[in-house]
Amino acid sequence: MVELTIDGTKIRTVEGTTVLEAAGEMGIVIPTLCYYPGLSPYGACRVCMVEVVKNNRSSLEASCTLPVEQGQVILTNSERVRKARKLIVELLLASCPNSKTLQDMASNMGINKIRFKIKDRGCILCGLCVRYCKEQMQSGGIGFIGRGTSRKVSTAFDVTPEECRNCGGCEWICPVCERACTAGNLIDGLCGGCQNLAPVETCPICTGCSESVGMQGHKVY
């Protein structure tokens, strides 16, 4: 067993456990995109970063690939961690603004502005579909091709391989395939609906019924 401290609480967990899994055992929710139970950890998106404190210094590391160590001190929600996660989600949204998963994550983090040029690439290169195809379906019909900004997920020569079973698992597990509620009608790359960024006029006799009065009448959220 390994003893470590997460957010000020000492815990004991099995050696070989990742910090993400250890935090989950405590009920601490760390946002993730490229991680999925049952698939090998990849550490591509970096959204699950935590602050590791050691010898009066700290570093940011991906919790999904970070194994627990004896005496480790982990901060999952420090100011430094929150700023880093917001920056990463902003960058990801700039490349995939129509993703409902990313829009929901941005709303939960309080992001109300994207400071980067928006260019919809349709993929965040998280590798979930590639690992699912290889590790769960034992197929390996899809993979990464190209390098740098040309890197993408595809099949060899863009031809559907015989190994593909048309299971649809690659679309099911993809965090950007599900379109945002207001996809195609975003404001500077954000829907903003969950944060109520668009001004609304509340009923003067409001009793907290979750109804708002706007230009088009009542709207129930």
User: How far is it, in rounded angstroms, from Cα 52 to Cα 73?
Assistant: 6
* Same structural domain, 103 and 185: yes
Average pLDDT over residues 86-91: 96
* Same structural domain, 197 and 112: yes
What is the signed CA dihedral for 121, 126, 132, 138, rounded to 10 degrees?
90
What does each C-alpha distance from 78 to 10, 207, 218 come to in angstroms? 17, 36, 40
- Taking a C-beta distance cutoff of 8 angstroms, is the pair 191, 181 a contact? yes
- CATH number for position 161: 3.30.70.20
* Same structural domain, 207 and 168: no
Domain extent, residue 73, equals 2-77
pLDDT beyond 80 at 113? yes
pTM of the model: 0.82
Would you place residue 203 in the very low, low, confident or very high pLDDT band (cuts 50, 70, 90)? low
Give backbone dihedrals phi and psi of 100, rounded to 5 degrees, phi first.
-65, -40
* Same structural domain, 64 and 99: no
| Count: domains in the chain | 3
* Same structural domain, 18 and 64: yes
- Taking a C-beta distance cutoff of 8 angstroms, is the pair 130, 153 a contact? yes
Range scoring the smallest mean pLDDT among 148-152, 156-160, 177-181: 156-160
Instruction: Kindly write down the DSSP assignment for every residue of 153-188, as one continuous string.
Output: EE-GGG---TT-----HHHHH-TTSSBPTTTTS-BT
Would you place residue 206 in the very low, low, confident or very high pLDDT band (cuts 50, 70, 90)? low
* Same structural domain, 48 and 103: no
User: How far is it, in rounded angstroms, from Cα 129 to Cα 146?
Assistant: 17
pLDDT beyond 90 at 163? no
* Same structural domain, 23 and 105: no
Predicted confidence at residue 35, as pLDDT, reads 95
pLDDT beyond 80 at 213? no
What is the signed CA dihedral for 167, 172, 175, 181, rounded to 10 degrees?
140
Predicted confidence at residue 129, as pLDDT, reads 94
- Taking a C-beta distance cutoff of 8 angstroms, is the pair 98, 184 a contact? yes
Average pLDDT over residues 191-212: 57
* Same structural domain, 7 and 66: yes
- CATH number for position 57: 3.10.20.740
3-state secondary structure of 88: helix
* Same structural domain, 183 and 168: no
* Same structural domain, 66 and 167: no
Average pLDDT over residues 60-89: 96
Predicted confidence at residue 204, as pLDDT, reads 58
Tens digits of residue pLDDT in 40-62: 999 999 999 999 999 889 999 99
* Same structural domain, 160 and 133: yes
* Same structural domain, 106 and 184: yes
pLDDT beyond 80 at 205? no
Question: What are the tokens at 163?
Answer: 């190994």
